[in-house]
Chains A and B, each alone.
Chain A
């Protein structure tokens, strides 16, 4: 569509051709996993600068510090908090509440996953929950796959609820005026509704399977959550500092300190009060992820400067005839279907620029477009095993075990859940923003 509009305007410069080649090449390498994400994005970004599509100064300006700083700060805090045993404590407490009933286990572990992934990134959440799930399943001798599939679904659904829960939200938060509480106010109702419906679907799929066999319920008591906490004082300090940071996120409108500064400040203050060695903690920061984002911001910057983003935005605005309600639905479904198969991070990085450009054409309040992008890109990740980084990690965990999670087996559950939750989001956005 936008290729036609480029052709019709007749301004195909060598820069446009170059940036399109770099963009498509990078995107293909990321999607096919031929190269690690960080390498693909940073080499692409280098080419953008090397071919003088952007100067170095322009490239740096396109890197959204709100996103990078927030991610980095959260990674530092999580690296310290993981040592406290807090997350294991919560999960084991939950496991014991179920008394070893497999269906209750699925529900409780999914809720814990959803809550943790609303405040931590999804990959960290599943790295904590999945080994515990496998340990419990192994102990009471049940097939862990229904639990794991449910955890994947809820890591993506839970992450949708807050600004810091999922990369698309972090990026949207960084790029717009939308704050922590705005995300909760707008996404939380859909997340709750989608959760209830997803549990209902999972019950249809798995309830009989899970409750058919007798399990060794008593063995659950072998888990001792108090042992997860090695150092009580350290545990309490972590809890207090993290809670303060979350409160600070929520009260941004009062103090107006940016989220990135709060996260980084919180991270280093936590490092100070818990007397951590910076070398050790900074090693835990996922530098490849941060460089992946940096590279993408620069490449998208190239698309923006050469006018390609503008053309896509004009194309979309034209297609929806300037109607914000239709544009919202288009962006929601387009995002969901795209991120089912491609990485939501480069997709969102590109679409943020597109939506910003569309704002001019549409006029009025374009917030619904942001919510469409957020809900679509987050829920879309549930469609297939390659839809989100956390999905791939969970599948990876199972490969060496007796129960390995297959692409098709996941899709049978993931795809219906994705379509139904996006349909709920679609209805919600229409009713909330456009009915009256």
Chain B
């Protein structure tokens, strides 16, 4: 069985629970990540913030209830809203129920979670400590290894 531990990417950047949204967006942009894990001062894993969570907070409620908003093409409500939220605490956008895996989990379990997740990464958590992450491409790359053994 292919285990998560064998594929975990350990050189990761996480967000401290006291950071601001500005910091979160910068980190995500720098690492081209669709989500970042959040840890407290002891390094214990708290949850993840995904692009989807931030977008969800920035889009006005009335837009969500429209079938289509393309006729508002010239308008900038989302960026204006988002700009106003940059100094808010990252924790306000935290998804505590974002899925995660442990090093001992199978890669196929990770594949199933990623297939359903809103982000493209999965934090790898050992006990309470964040140890790394795996991405969708890690899961897909398992197939390459399979090919080599044949």
Where the two chains meet, the residues of A that have a C-beta atom closer than 8 Å to any C-beta of B are 82-83, 85, 88, 92, 127, 130-132, 134-135, 138-139, 219, 221-228, 230, 397, 400-401
Contacts and interface: CB of A to CB of B under 8 A. Distances in A.
B74 A225 contact: no
A131 B73 contact: no
17 contacts: A85-B67, A85-B68, A88-B68, A131-B65, A131-B66, A132-B62, A138-B60, A138-B77, A139-B75, A221-B74, A222-B72, A223-B72, A223-B75, A225-B71, A226-B71, A397-B62, A397-B65
Contact of A224 (B65, B67, B71, B77): B71
A223 B74 contact: yes
Contact of A397 (B61, B67, B68): B61
B128 to A, nearest CB: 34
Tell me what chain B mostly uses at the interface: helix, strand, loop, or mixed: loop
A390 to B, nearest CB: 14
| The 9 residue pairs across chains A and B that have the minimum distance between CB atoms | A222-B74, A134-B62, A131-B62, A227-B71, A227-B70, A228-B71, A222-B75, A131-B65, A131-B66
Contacts of B60: 134-135, 138, 401
A327 to B, nearest CB: 44
Contacts of A88: 66-68, 71
Contacts, number: 64
A227 B66 contact: no
B63 interface: yes
Contacts of B74: 219, 221-224
Given A82-B67, A83-B67, A131-B66, A227 B61 contact: no
Interface string B50-81: 00000000001111011111111111010000
Contacts of A135: 60, 62-63, 66, 69, 72, 75, 77
A401 B70 CA distance: 22
Given A219-B74, A230-B68, A397-B65, 7 more contacts: A82-B67, A131-B65, A135-B72, A219-B75, A221-B74, A224-B71, A228-B70
Nearest to A133: B62
Contacts of B73: 222, 224, 227
Contact of A130 (B62, B67, B68, B70): B62
B79 to A, nearest CB: 13
Nearest to A227: B71
B67 A92 contact: no
B66 A139 contact: no
Most buried by B among A92, A222, A225: A222
A227 B72 CA distance: 9
B60 to A, nearest CB: 6
B68 A92 contact: no
Interface in B111-136: none
A92 B66 CA distance: 13
Nearest to A224: B71
Contacts of A130: 62
A283 to B, nearest CB: 15
A228 B65 contact: no
A166 B59 CA distance: 33
A85 B69 CA distance: 11
Nearest to A139: B75
A96 to B, nearest CB: 11
B68 A228 contact: yes
A138 B65 CA distance: 15
Contacts of A227: 70-71, 73
Contacts of B70: 227-228
Contacts of A139: 72, 75, 77
Given A222-B73, A223-B74, A138 B62 contact: yes
Contacts of B66: 88, 131-132, 135
A42 B74 CA distance: 48
Given A131-B66, A138-B77, A139-B77, A400 B61 contact: yes
Contacts of A400: 61
Nearest to A92: B71
A224 B74 CA distance: 8
Most buried by B among A88, A130, A131, A230: A131
B24 to A, nearest CB: 23
A378 to B, nearest CB: 26
Contacts of B72: 135, 139, 222-223
A101 to B, nearest CB: 19
A219 B77 CA distance: 11
A115 B62 CA distance: 22
B117 to A, nearest CB: 26
Given A131-B66, A227-B70, A228-B68, A401 B75 contact: no
A1 to B, nearest CB: 45
A127 B60 CA distance: 15
Nearest to B81: A138
Interface string B63-102: 1011111111111010000000000000000000000000
Contacts of A131: 62-63, 65-66
Contacts of B77: 135, 138-139
A78 B113 CA distance: 38
Contacts of A83: 67
A195 B117 CA distance: 51
A213 to B, nearest CB: 18
